[in-house]
């Protein structure tokens, strides 16, 4: 068999696989296939894909390819970031509540500690902090979660026991005593939800967090000599 | 890429696969808005289940398509339970979902092969025009049409394999 003949037979295999050859030519190709293992192997590959062609809709093939909107990726990232942040908060909140429960059971120890700072996720990659205000009247509890961000600090406040409708103004204070507003919220009795706030001060620069509420100011250290570090929890996952 | 747990992993996966996922979602659902919703939900589910992804079991692309398939089923059920409203754009696919995925792969593969090969396959196979007529229209010998059919099918197979198709 000459090389050129073989090539000619080979180039007919596409039309053969699709059933496009006239009967005489088809018979000739079939005869060649009897004696050519290489062409038989080639044909098997072509038949596989030829069998799929009827599935396709030619009008769809000719339509320009659709592309997702340019902002879809950013929307997905934002949703995942929000979910990530929410899940992280919930996880820390659950752990913080568990810790508070334990602390209540050991009241003698708690009485010794004037102020407690509990870093829940230690390490350089997750320096978020949980802060419990301890200098508060009986029946009142104020807790906060602080998370570092590029814009500053995200703050979640959990307040209980003060008069419903009380305006609470939150601030952060740096080492020099300068205060940075973190916004305000109004406490409603029976509302267990957290207040989400933010401040322009970096968490690494924050020395204390404060709340003006009902004519009084409550302050708890975020870092510094008065804080008692209770240790670092293992990875919450 | 290993487990899909970091936001950066999701960003890379989106850059690599969102076009295909969105294309299939539009074809299956026939609605651009629903397709966006489907792709968004797919990546959210992938991120949430990211630790379960094992690249040794299958490719990320295959895994994402498996998630999208479930999302499309869920969205299809939700849509079926709502009163039908007029929708513009592409008609939704009526094939079973597995077949729709295969059909979309063939159509996408056809779009990826060279223009000469695509045109000859469209004219001769899909429109059933004689090779001689197409050859005359294109100003080439009939043997060239036969050759383009052969190499077009070869190219189509390669494109299908790139999309994970196996015999």
Q: In what order do the strands lie in the sheet with A179-186?
A: A179-186, A167-174, A206-213, A216-221
**Are residues B146 and A14, on separate chains, in Cβ contact within 8 Å?**
yes
Residue owning tokens 């975020």: A222
Residues of B within 8 A of A18 (CB-CB) are 124-125, 149, 153
Question: Is the ipTM above a cut-off of 0.90?
Answer: no
Per-residue tens of pLDDT for chain A, all 237 residues = 455 577 888 899 999 999 999 999 999 999 999 999 999 999 999 999 999 999 999 999 998 888 999 999 989 988 888 887 777 666 666 665 655 556 555 544 444 443 444 443 333 344 678 888 888 887 788 888 888 887 788 888 888 878 888 888 999 998 888 888 898 888 877 665 578 888 888 888 888 999 988 888 888 888 743 333 333 333 322
The dihedral formed by the CA atoms of A102, A103, A105 and A111, expressed in degrees to the nearest 10: 170
Q: In what order do the strands lie in the sheet with A141-149?
A: A195-199, A152-160, A141-149, A129-133, A116-118, A228-229
Fold category of A3-62 in CATH: Arc Repressor Mutant, subunit A (1.10.10)
CA–CA distance, B20 with B159 (Å, rounded to integer): 13
What is the end-to-end Cα distance of chain A in Å, rounded?
A: 69
Do the strands A116-118 and A195-199 form a parallel or antiparallel pair, or are they unpaired? unpaired
Q: CA B46 → CA A159, B20, B54, B61, B66, distances in Å?
A: 36, 16, 12, 11, 10
Q: What would the two tokens of residue B145 be?
A: 């049409």
Q: At what angle do helices A37-50 and A23-34 cross, to 10 degrees?
A: 130
**Are residues A55 and B103, on separate chains, in Cβ contact within 8 Å?**
yes
Question: Quick one: which of B57, B60, B56, B46 has its CA closest to B5?
Answer: B46
What are the boundaries of each domain within chain A?
A: 3-62, 89-229
Give the pTM: 0.57
| Domains of chain B, first to last | 1-93 (1.10.1740.10), 113-167 (1.10.10.10)
Residue of chain A minimizing CA distance to B21: A68
Q: Which of B146, B160, B163, B166 to mutate to test the interface with A (most CBs of A within 10 A)?
A: B146
Do residues A81 and A149 touch, judged by C-beta distance below 8 A?
Answer: no
């Amino acid at each position: 068999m000459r090389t050129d003949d073989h090539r000619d037979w080979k180039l007919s295999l596409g039309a053969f696989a699709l059933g496009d050859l006239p009967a005489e030519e088809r018979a000739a190709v079939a005869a060649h296939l009897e004696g050519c293992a290489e062409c038989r192997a080639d044909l098997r590959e072509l038949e596989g894909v030829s069998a799929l062609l009827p599935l396709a809709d030619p009008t769809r093939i000719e339509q320009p390819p659709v592309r997702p909107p340019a902002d879809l990726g950013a929307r997905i990232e934002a949703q995942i970031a929000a979910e990530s942040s929410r899940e992280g908060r919930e996880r820390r909140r659950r752990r913080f509540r568990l810790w508070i429960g334990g602390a209540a059971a050991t009241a003698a120890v708690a009485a010794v500690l004037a102020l407690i700072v509990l870093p829940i996720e230690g390490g350089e990659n997750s320096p978020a902090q949980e802060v419990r205000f301890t200098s508060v009247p009986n029946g009142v509890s104020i807790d906060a979660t602080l998370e570092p961000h590029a814009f500053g600090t995200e703050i979640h406040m959990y307040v209980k026991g003060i008069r419903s409708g009380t305006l609470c103004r939150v601030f952060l204070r740096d080492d020099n005593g300068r205060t940075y507003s973190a916004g305000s919220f109004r406490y409603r009795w029976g509302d267990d939800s957290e207040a989400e706030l933010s401040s322009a001060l970096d968490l690494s620069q924050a020395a204390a967090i404060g709340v003006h509420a009902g004519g009084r100011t409550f302050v708890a250290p975020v870092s510094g000599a008065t804080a008692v570090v209770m240790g670092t929890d293992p990875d919450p996952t | 890429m290993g487990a899909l747990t970091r936001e950066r992993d999701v960003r890379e996966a989106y850059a690599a696969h969102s076009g295909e996922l969105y294309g299939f979602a539009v074809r299956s659902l026939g609605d651009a808005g629903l397709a966006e919703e489907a792709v968004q939900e797919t990546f959210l589910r992938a991120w949430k289940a990211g630790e379960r992804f094992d690249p040794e079991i299958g490719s990320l692309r295959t895994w994402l398509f498996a998630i999208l398939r479930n999302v499309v089923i869920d969205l299809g059920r939700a849509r079926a339970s709502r009163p039908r409203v007029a929708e513009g754009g592409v008609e939704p696919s009526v094939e079973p979902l597995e077949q729709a995925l295969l059909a979309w792969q063939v159509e996408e593969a056809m779009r990826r092969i060279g223009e000469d090969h695509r045109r000859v396959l469209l004219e001769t196979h899909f429109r059933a025009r004689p090779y001689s007529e197409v050859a005359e229209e294109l100003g080439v010998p009939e043997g060239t049409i036969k050759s383009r059919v052969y190499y077009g099918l070869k190219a189509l197979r390669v494109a299908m394999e790139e999309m994970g198709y196996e015999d």
